[in-house]
Amino acid sequence: MSSGNMKILLTGKNGQVGFELQRSLAPLAEIVAVDHADCDLSNPEAIRSLVRQTRPDIIVNPAAYTAVDKAEAEPELAASVNATAPGILAEEAASLGALLVHYSTDYVFDGAMAGAYRETDATNPQSVYGRTKRDGEVAVRHANARHLILRTSWVVGAHGGNFAKTMLKLAAERDSLNVVADQWGAPTSAALLADITAHLVRQYHNAPEAFPYGTYHCVAGGETNWCNYARFVIGEAIRAGRPMKVTPEAVRAITTADYPTPARRSANSRLDTNSLKTTFGLELPHWQAGLGHVLQQIIGA
The contacts of residue 7 (CB under 8 Å, 6+ apart) are 29, 30, 32, 54, 55, 56, 57, 58
The domain 3-161+187-223+269-285 belongs to what CATH superfamily?
NAD(P)-binding Rossmann-like Domain (3.40.50.720)
pLDDT in tens, 176-194: 999 999 999 999 999 999 9
Buried b / exposed e over 203-231, threshold 16 CB at 10 Å, is bbbeeeeeeebebbbbbbbebbbbbbbbb
Decide: residue 59, CB within 10 A, 0-12 exposed, 13-18 middle, 19+ buried: buried
What pLDDT shows up at residue 2? 44
User: Are 248 and 235 spatial neighbours (Cβ–Cβ below 8 Å)?
Assistant: yes
Query: So which residues are the catalytic ones?
Result: 129
pTM given for the model: 0.95
pLDDT in tens, 60-116: 999 998 889 999 999 999 999 999 999 999 999 999 999 999 999 999 999 999 999
